[in-house]
Amino acid sequence: MSRAWQVGIFGTFDVANYGDLLFPIIAEAELTRRLGTLTLHRFSYHGKTADEWPYAVTSLTRLPEIAGQLDGVLIGGGFIIRFDKTVARDYYPPDASIHHPTGYWLTPALIALQHGIPLIWNAPGMHGNDIPHWAAPLVKLALEHSPHIRVRDALSKTALAELTDTARIEVLPDTAFGLPRLINPQSPSAAFLALCASAGLNKPYLVVHTIRGLESFLHLWSSHGEQFEDLQLLLLPIGPVLGDHASVLGDGLQRSRSLPFWPEPLLLAELLAQAEGVIGHSYHLAISALAFGVPIFSSADLSSGKYTALPSHGRIFPLHKDQVIDPHWFRAQLGRQPVSTVTAHAMEQLDEHWDQVAALIREGRRPTQPALNRYWQTLPDVLEKLHIQIQQSVDMQSECLQKQRELEALYQSNSFKLTAPLRHLRRTLKNWLGAIGHD
C-alpha cells in the first residue's frame, strides 16, 4: 500500500495576488506526479476554505499542532524572505504572538528543523531588504541545516550567502516557469472557452495589466487603432490586493473587454498563454508569458532587482512611460512562438528541482534536532546580552538627554544672559591680542 504523504508549503497564499497563489498549485502537481497520494497543507496567516478561495489555506495558528505530522516543508516561492512590516496593506498575523513577517517563513523553517523535517527552500526571493542583526543567527541556523536551498535570483543568493560559509545556496528559475507542465495552449479548457464567451472575447487579444504607467501603450492603441482592428484588449487585474483595477486605465479603450470575475490562478495563466501579447508590470505576468512563448511588453525596470533574471529569456520588451511605440514594430512582435533555449533550460532545471525535493521527502526525517537544541541552550544568554545592550543604550540616551536639558537651562538662566557682554568682550580681546602677536 502506497503511503499518503503530508507536505507543508509556506507563503502568502491568503492574498489575491496571481503569483503568490500559483506556488502551491505547481508544488502539488509536481510532487503528486512524483510521490503519488499527497496532502498539501498551504500555510499562511489567515485560513481560507475552498468554497471562498482557489484552495484551502491553513492558518499558521494551527502549525504547532500539525507540524509533527509533516514529511516535508517548502518555503516559498515569492518575495517572502523579508523583515519589513509593509508586506501588503492591512496584512498582519491573526495572532499577535506570531512575528510579522518572519512568522510565515523563518519560524516555520525553524520548527521544521526542530522536528527533523526536510527543509526545502522553494525558490523564494529576498533582494532589496537587509537582514537585521537580531535575525542573522536564526537565518544562518536555518540555512546551514537545510538540505536543499534554492532562491530565485542571484541577488538573493548573494545576500544569504554572506551569513554562511557552509550552506550550499543555488539560483533556481521561478517555479512559475513550470506552468506549461500544467496547461496546454493547444487544447483550450472548457472553463477558458466559457469565460471568453461570457466576456465577449471573440477575436485574438492582448492582455493588459490593469495598473498605471502604461501610457505609451494606451497612446499607441488609441492613435493607431486601424492597425489593430483584428485584436481585442483583455483588461486583467493580476494583483487585486495591490490595487489592480480596470478603472485605472481610463474609459473609452476601443475593443476592450473585462472579465465578470477574477479567475482562479490556472485559468488566469491560460488566458495569458492564449494571448497574442501581454502588456504590464507584474513579475509573474512576465514569467507566464515567457513560459508560453508570448511576448511581454514590461513597464518594470528590467535592469533592477528580480527583473534582471528575465531579459535573457528573450521576447521581453521594455515599455517606457514617455517613449512613443512604433506601431509597425509592435505589430511585428506579436504572436506566440517557441520558447527560447534559456526558457527551455529553466524548465529542465525545475524538473531536476522537483525530483530532488521528492527524493528528500522520501528519505524522511533528518538529525537536525541536536543543532536546534544547542541553539535553544544558548538562547537565554543571547537574550540577556541583548537586554544589557538595550539597557546601556537607554542609559546613554537618558544621560545625553539630561545634559541637553542642563545646557538648555544654563542658556536660559539670568546669569548666562547678564554675562553675555563680558564673554563677547573676552573673545574680542583674545582675537585682537592674537592679531597683534602675528604682526
Beta strand extents in 276-414 (DSSP E only)? 277-280, 296-298, 316-318
Q: Is 17's pLDDT higher than 90? A: yes
User: What is the Cα–Cα distance from 169 to 197, expressed in whole angstroms?
Assistant: 47
Residues in the chain: 439
User: What is the Cα–Cα distance from 79 to 11, expressed in whole angstroms?
Assistant: 9
Beta carbons within 8 Å of 128's beta carbon, 6+ residues apart: 155, 305
Question: pLDDT-based confidence at 437, cuts 50/70/90?
Answer: low
pLDDT digits (tens, 9 = 90+) for 153-168: 999 999 999 999 999 9
pLDDT digits (tens, 9 = 90+) for 181-217: 999 999 999 999 999 999 999 999 999 999 999 999 9
CATH architecture of 5-178+347-367: 3-Layer(aba) Sandwich (3.40)
CA-nearest of 373, 304, 314, 368 to 339 is: 314
CATH architecture of 186-335: 3-Layer(aba) Sandwich (3.40)
Q: Is 393's pLDDT higher than 80? A: no
Instruction: State the burial class of residue 281 (Cβ atoms within 10 Å of its Cβ: 0-12, 13-18, 19+).
Output: buried
Is residue 159 a contact partner of residue 127, using CB atoms and an 8 Å limit? Answer: yes
Is residue 141 a contact partner of residue 113, using CB atoms and an 8 Å limit? Answer: yes
User: What is the Cα–Cα distance from 259 to 251, expressed in whole angstroms?
Assistant: 16
Distances (CA, A) of 85 to 80, 94, 246, 321, 331: 12, 14, 28, 30, 43
Place of cell 489593430: 228
Among 120-134, 167-181, 266-280, whose mean pLDDT is lowest? Answer: 120-134
pLDDT digits (tens, 9 = 90+) for 279-291: 999 999 999 999 9
CA-nearest of 161, 130, 172 to 352 is: 172
Question: pLDDT-based confidence at 120, cuts 50/70/90?
Answer: very high
Q: Is 439's pLDDT higher than 70? A: no
CA-nearest of 171, 169, 113 to 312 is: 171
Portions of the chain given CATH number 3.40.50.2000:
5-178+347-367, 186-335
